[in-house]
């Protein structure tokens, strides 16, 4: 190994420069051309070789003994038996055959949501789906955890989210044209360390600084001051989470009452403003959406809201709304209210005006785009029709055959007997983990491909240890990244881990149709094939890429930005008849007859205020579980950088000094967070960076249930600090059925000083025993 010239690798958080000792990866640094490198690469070496790495195939002990008749409620606490690759593949091939024969392919759920790793060929979900499609198919999932409400809502009212993101206005245009940026959910640098498929050159900090240098004024509407770097000199409006819709409606109310709305824009480019105006004035519900009304809900000053509305109308204003807002109760509403407010201002489609959704939720939005797509392993055709809106996993497993509503239609849950996950960690990403544990006690067989002993791996029956990105040959070409990165294998797969490609090829051989999966190629053959496809796509753009052998030994290849001066919806503004929107009316739907016709109480036909659902009884504090700065989600939480930020081994929870004082909590103390759904420990970080009444616990600390310490409802204490033991598993609305993690309430108390808190065990492997 490591005989290649290139030392590069690609991750969702950036390019890495790999150092090895000839056998193992010893350090990973950053690319010298990255203008704003981060420290996430520091997690790699420890995570690859630490105790959390899965070393050999493993089978849950009682499943090995009893197969699908094994007790299912013991998942997550049962010991495992390590077995050989031959044995595990024989077992799995037999189980696939049994499930297919007894229940059909529609009983295999392989929606398998998750971010897995960068790399075009060794894409975990893509390969799993390709394999299962050659075996009769599987139940897929639809949507994602990131911006699902946007995915479903926006096509009805403006156009697909996947048009918003690549076409969003560039920061350089904001610097040149905007006077004011009002950022709902802030513009957190921490989140721009990452982009799916790769974030090679981190331009966000520089782009924002250029705006500030050009005199653009920023307003950070967020419960966290740190969601905007101090250098920008922005104003912090510490809003109560879940109340942005009220604030946006109040801003719109002021514009309307003061005649600052752009009637000509509304007439020409939108439908339904009369309904919006009636709602703003309280004609339809008796409540005018005044700044005083919004002030009571948001905790912001009514006069400041009035003044802000006037400032927004006085110059060129860009409204940005992060994804976080729509990952809360009724998450469709802040999106619709954003569009409504921007339409009333009338600057949509003008340089530096209008709105963008999901600005600052990744490195590349607003900074760069991709000139051409890259080659991809074809997933084939899935003969199974059944699907699942991605966040309904617990509901599906708990209610096979149950009915639900989605996009205005009635659907039925499939009866999933086998669950197969590759490249995701539901015991990190899903809400209400105690409910998920219950749900995971239902299927007959749970299979996982993993690098590390995550909580999901511990809840599986069959665990397949797989190679990490630095242990396989591939190339990085992120969806919106303007760079192609060679990813030579720098070390052999550690211990007995294998390439997932090889695992499927062997399974397909056991099931009798290997060619259907491999098409006669090995993994390296696919890599060359995909590179050739990529070269051809480049050629169509007049660019010539090096051939594979030169590329894989060389440096990353930078591509020109296809549209550096992009202005979102400029084409529509210039010619609304010639470039209509793909909505029913061809215009922006401030009132949407289609959605209205669904008759959904939780998502009516126009932007509407709903208060978040958790009652005060759940706890006095609002819990925000934002993305961690020290890792990607739960990936490599056992790495050096992620661990360095823990407090006595627990995930830090940010709490305001007055909330801390009221509970006798001092900085660095171990605290217990709890509500009716669950409990976890965390380390207190007392800081006035957070709003009063609000606490922050980052996502991604590996869930670490202590079955020795059961709460009143029989729920185990999470020793480490995963917020999803506290979040609710309600959907944003029955329109989109999206996750709503950011709308949980909790209470916090000091862990009693005289009691030693239980040690964190998350980074150790589960108990491994000998076969009976």
Ligand X SMILES: Nc1nc2c(c(=O)[nH]1)N[C@H]1C(S)=C(S)[C@@H](COP(=O)(O)OP(=O)(O)OC[C@H]3O[C@@H](n4cnc5c(=O)[nH]c(N)nc54)[C@H](O)[C@@H]3O)O[C@H]1N2
Q: Is 132 helix (H, G, I), strand (E, B) or coil?
A: helix
Q: How far is the CB of 259 from ligand X (least distance, A)?
A: 28
Q: Assess 742 for contact with ligand X (CB under 6 A).
A: yes
Neighbours of 119 (CB within 10 A): 23
Minimum CB–partner distance for residue 306 and ligand X (Å) = 19
Contact flag: residue 327 with ligand X (CB under 6 A) = yes
* Strand ranges of the sheet holding 217-221, from the earlier edge strand across to the other edge: 235-237, 217-221, 180-184, 317-321, 354-357
Please report whether residue 368 would count as binding Mo ion according to CB under 5 A.
no
Q: Which of residues 54-93 bind ligand X (CB under 6 A)?
A: none
Binding mask 179-218 for ligand X (x = CB under 6 A): -----xxx-x-xx-xx------------------------
115 catalytic? Reply is yes
* 172 binding partner (options ligand X, Mo ion, none; Cβ < 5 to 8 Å by kind): none
DSSP E strand boundaries for 453-549: 462-465, 474-476, 483-487
Cα 182 from chain centroid (whole Å): 23
Contacting range for ligand X; rule: CB under 6 A; set: 310-318, 670-678, 721-729, 752-760 = 721-729
For residue 54, give the nearest of 462, 444, 433, 419 by alpha carbon.
462
Asked whether position 724 contacts Mo ion by CB under 5 A, the answer is: no
What are the structure tokens assigned to 338, written together? 């954003």
Q: Is 146 in the site for ligand X (CB under 6 A)?
A: yes
The CA distance from 72 to 222, in Å, is: 43
Binds 191, which of Mo ion, ligand X, none (CB < 5 to 8 A, cut-off by type)?
ligand X
Cβ pair 212, 231 in contact under 8 A? yes
Which residues from 602-641 bind ligand X, rule CB under 6 A?
Answer: 624-629, 632-635
Residues in contact with 89: Cβ distance below 8 Å, sequence separation at least 6, in sequence order: 503, 506, 507, 510
487 binds ligand X (CB under 6 A): no
CA dihedral over 214, 343, 594, 328, signed as positive or negative? positive
- Per CB under 6 A, the list member of 43, 449, 527, 736 interacting with ligand X is 449
Nearer to ligand X by Cβ, of 237 and 588: the residue is 237
Identify which range of 280-288, 447-455, 524-532, 759-767 contacts ligand X by CB under 6 A.
Answer: 447-455
Residue 566 CB, nearest approach to Mo ion (Å) = 23
**Range 504-518 burial, b when 16+ CB lie within 10 A, else e:** bbbbbeebeebeebb
Nearer to Mo ion, 433 or 621 (CB): 433
Determine contact, residues 750/674, Cβ cutoff 8 Å.
no
Angle value at C-alpha 180, between 562 and 202, nearest 5 degrees: 40
Q: Does 425 bind ligand X (CB under 6 A)?
A: yes
- Give the CB-nearest residue to ligand X: 626
CA distances from 287 to 281, 283, 291, 746 (A): 7, 8, 12, 30
Whether 562 contacts 369, CB under 8 Å: yes
CA–CA separation, 503 vs 449, rounded Å? 10
Least Å distance between CB 401 and ligand X? 27
Question: CB of residue 759 vs ligand X: minimum separation in angstroms?
Answer: 22
Q: Which residue is nearest to Mo ion (CB)?
A: 146
Side-chain-side CA neighbours of 592 within 13 Å: the count stands at 31
| Choice between 92 and 581, CB closer to ligand X | 92
Whether the Cβ atoms of residue 321 and residue 723 lie closer than 8 Å to each other:
no
Catalytic residue among 115, 279, 501, 531: 115
Window 118-157: residues binding Mo ion (CB under 5 A): 146
CA distances from 318 to 163, 170, 342, 626, 770 (A): 18, 11, 8, 23, 62
Distance in Å, CB of 461 to ligand X, minimum: 16
Q: Is 116 a residue that touches Mo ion (CB under 5 A)?
A: no
- Output 127 or 545, the one with its CB closest to ligand X: 127
Query: Which one, 445 or 722, has the nearer CB to Mo ion?
Result: 722
Q: What angle do CA 186, 189, 193 make, to 5 degrees?
A: 135
Q: Does 222 bind Mo ion (CB under 5 A)?
A: no
Would you say 462 or 538 has its CB closer to ligand X? Answer: 462
Minimum CB separation of residue 628 from Mo ion in Å reads: 12
Closest separation in Å from C-beta 113 to Mo ion? 10
Whole-number minimum distance, CB 36 to ligand X, in Å?
Answer: 12
Q: Does 221 bind ligand X (CB under 6 A)?
A: yes
> Whole-number minimum distance, CB 145 to Mo ion, in Å?
5
Both tokens of 199, joined, read: 């974030």
**Cβ(469)–Cβ(89) below 8 Å:** no
Q: Does 361 bind ligand X (CB under 6 A)?
A: yes
Q: Does 362 bind Mo ion (CB under 5 A)?
A: no
Task: Judge whether 113 counts as a catalytic residue.
Answer: yes
| Interaction partner, residue 194 (ligand X, Mo ion, none; CB < 5-8 Å by kind) | ligand X
Task: Name beta bridge partners: 357.
Answer: 321
Cβ atoms within 10 Å of 102's Cβ, excluding its own: 11
* DSSP per residue, 164-223: HTTTSPPHHHHHHH-SEEEEET---GGGGG--TT---S--HHHHHHHHHHTT-EEEEESS
Among 111, 234, 375, 424, binds ligand X (CB under 6 A): 424
Query: Which of 8, 158, 224, 297 contacts ligand X by CB under 6 A?
Result: 224
Nearer to ligand X, 251 or 350 (CB): 251
Give how many residues touch Mo ion by CB under 5 A.
Answer: 1
Residue 600 DSSP code: -
Tell me which stretch binds ligand X (CB under 6 A): 271-279, 416-424, 603-611, 662-670.
Answer: 416-424
> Residue 721 in contact with residue 683, Cβ under 8 Å?
yes
Q: Is 381 exposed, middle or buried (0-12, 13-18, 19+ CB in 10 A)?
A: exposed
Contact between 733 and Mo ion by CB under 5 A: the answer reads: no
Please identify, using beta-carbon distances, which residue of 221 and 344 lies nearer to ligand X.
Answer: 221
**Burial (CB count within 10 angstroms: exposed 0-12, middle 13-18, buried 19+), residue 411:** middle
Q: Which of 13, 63, 109, 113 is catalytic?
A: 113
- Choose among ligand X, Mo ion, none what residue 650 binds, the Cβ cut-off being 5 to 8 Å by kind: none
> Which x/- pattern, by CB under 5 A, does the window 505-524 give for Mo ion?
--------------------
Rounded Cα–Cα distance for residues 715 and 433 (Å) = 10
Interaction mask 493-532, ligand X, x per CB under 6 A: -------x--------------------------------
**Given the rule CB under 6 A, which residues bind ligand X?**
114-117, 122, 124, 145-146, 184-186, 188, 190-191, 193-194, 221-224, 227, 239, 241-242, 244, 322-325, 327-328, 361-362, 422-425, 428-429, 449-452, 454, 466, 500, 624-629, 632-635, 699, 723-724, 727, 741-742
Which residues are identified as catalytic?
113, 115
């Amino acid at each position: 190994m490591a005989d290649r010239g290139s030392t590069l690798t690609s991750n969702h958080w950036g390019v890495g420069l790999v150092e090895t000792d000839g056998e193992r990866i010893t350090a990973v640094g950053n690319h010298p051309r990255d203008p704003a490198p981060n420290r996430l690469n520091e997690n790699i070496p420890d995570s690859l070789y630490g105790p959390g790495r899965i070393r050999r195939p493993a089978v849950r002990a009682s499943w090995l003994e009893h197969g699908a008749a094994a007790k299912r409620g013991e998942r997550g606490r049962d010991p495992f038996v390590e077995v050989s690759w031959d044995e595990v593949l024989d077992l799995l091939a037999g189980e696939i055959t049994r499930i297919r024969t007894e229940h059909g392919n529609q009983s295999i759920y392989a929606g398998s949501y998750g971010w897995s790793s960068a790399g075009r060929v060794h894409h975990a979900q893509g390969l799993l789906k390709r394999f299962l499609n050659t075996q009769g198919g599987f139940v897929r999932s639809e949507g994602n955890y990131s911006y699902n409400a946007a995915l479903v809502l926006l096509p009805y009212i403006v156009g697909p989210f996947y048009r918003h993101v690549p076409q969003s206005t560039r920061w350089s245009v904001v610097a040149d044209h905007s006077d004011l940026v009002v950022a709902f959910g802030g513009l957190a640098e921490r989140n721009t360390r990452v982009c799916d498929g790769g974030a090679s050159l981190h331009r966000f900090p520089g782009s924002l600084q250029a705006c500030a240098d050009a005199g653009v004024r920023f307003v950070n509407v967020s419960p966290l001051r740190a969601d905007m770097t101090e250098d920008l000199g922005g104003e912090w409006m510490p809003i109560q989470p879940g109340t942005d819709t009220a604030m946006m409606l109040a801003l719109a109310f002021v514009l309307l009452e003061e005649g600052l709305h752009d009637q000509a824009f509304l007439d020409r480019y939108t439908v339904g403003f009369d309904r919006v105006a009636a709602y703003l004035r309280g004609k339809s519900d008796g409540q005018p959406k005044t700044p005083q009304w919004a002030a009571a809900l948001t905790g912001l000053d009514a006069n400041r809201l009035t003044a802000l509305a006037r400032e927004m109308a006085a110059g060129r204003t860009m409204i940005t709304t992060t994804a976080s807002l729509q990952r809360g109760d009724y998450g469709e509403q802040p999106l619709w209210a954003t569009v409504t407010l921007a339409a009333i201002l009338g600057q949509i489609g003008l340089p530096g005006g209008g709105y963008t959704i999901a600005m600052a939720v990744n490195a590349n939005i607003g900074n760069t785009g991709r000139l051409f797509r890259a080659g991809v392993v074809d997933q084939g055709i899935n003969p199974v029709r059944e699907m699942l809106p991605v966040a309904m996993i617990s509901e599906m497993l708990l209610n096979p055959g149950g009915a639900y509503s989605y996009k205005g239609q009635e659907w039925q849950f499939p009866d999933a007997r086998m669950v197969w996950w590759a490249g995701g960690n539901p015991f990190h990403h899903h809400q209400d983990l105690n409910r998920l544990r219950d749900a995971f006690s239902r299927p007959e067989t749970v299979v996982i491909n993993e690098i590390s002993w995550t909580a999901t791996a511990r809840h599986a029956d069959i665990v397949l240890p797989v190679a990490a990105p630095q242990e396989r040959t591939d190339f990085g070409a992120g969806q919106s990244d303007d760079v192609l990165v060679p990813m030579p294998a720098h070390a052999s797969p550690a211990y007995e881990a294998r390439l997932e490609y090889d695992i499927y090829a062997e399974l397909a051989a056991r099931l009798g149709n290997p060619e259907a999966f491999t098409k006669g190629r090995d993994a390296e053959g696919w890599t060359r094939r995909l590179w050739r496809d990529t070269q051809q796509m480049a050629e169509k753009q007049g660019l010539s890429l090096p051939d594979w052998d030169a590329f894989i030994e060389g440096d990353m290849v930078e591509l020109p930005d296809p549209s550096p001066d992009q202005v979102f919806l400029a084409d529509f503004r210039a010619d609304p008849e010639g470039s209509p929107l793909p909505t029913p009316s061809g215009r922006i739907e401030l009132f949407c007859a289609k959605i209205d016709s669904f008759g959904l109480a939780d998502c009516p036909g126009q932007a509407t205020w709903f208060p978040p659902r958790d009652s005060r009884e759940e706890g006095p504090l609002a819990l925000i579980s934002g993305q961690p700065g020290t890792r990607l989600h739960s990936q490599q939480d056992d790495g050096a950088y992620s661990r360095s930020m823990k407090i006595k081994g627990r995930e830090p929870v940010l709490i305001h000094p007055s909330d801390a004082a009221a509970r006798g909590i001092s900085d660095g103390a171990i605290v217990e967070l709890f509500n009716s759904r669950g409990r976890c420990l965390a380390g207190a970080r007392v800081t006035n960076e957070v709003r009063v009444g609000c606490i922050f616990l980052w996502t991604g600390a590996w869930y670490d249930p202590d079955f020795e310490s059961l709460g009143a409802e029989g729920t185990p204490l999470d020793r480490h600090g995963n917020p999803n033991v506290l979040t609710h598993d309600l959907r944003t609305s029955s329109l989109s059925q999206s996750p709503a993690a950011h709308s949980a309430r909790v209470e916090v108390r000091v862990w009693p000083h005289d009691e030693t808190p239980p040690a964190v065990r998350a980074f150790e492997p589960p108990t491994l025993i000998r076969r009976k």
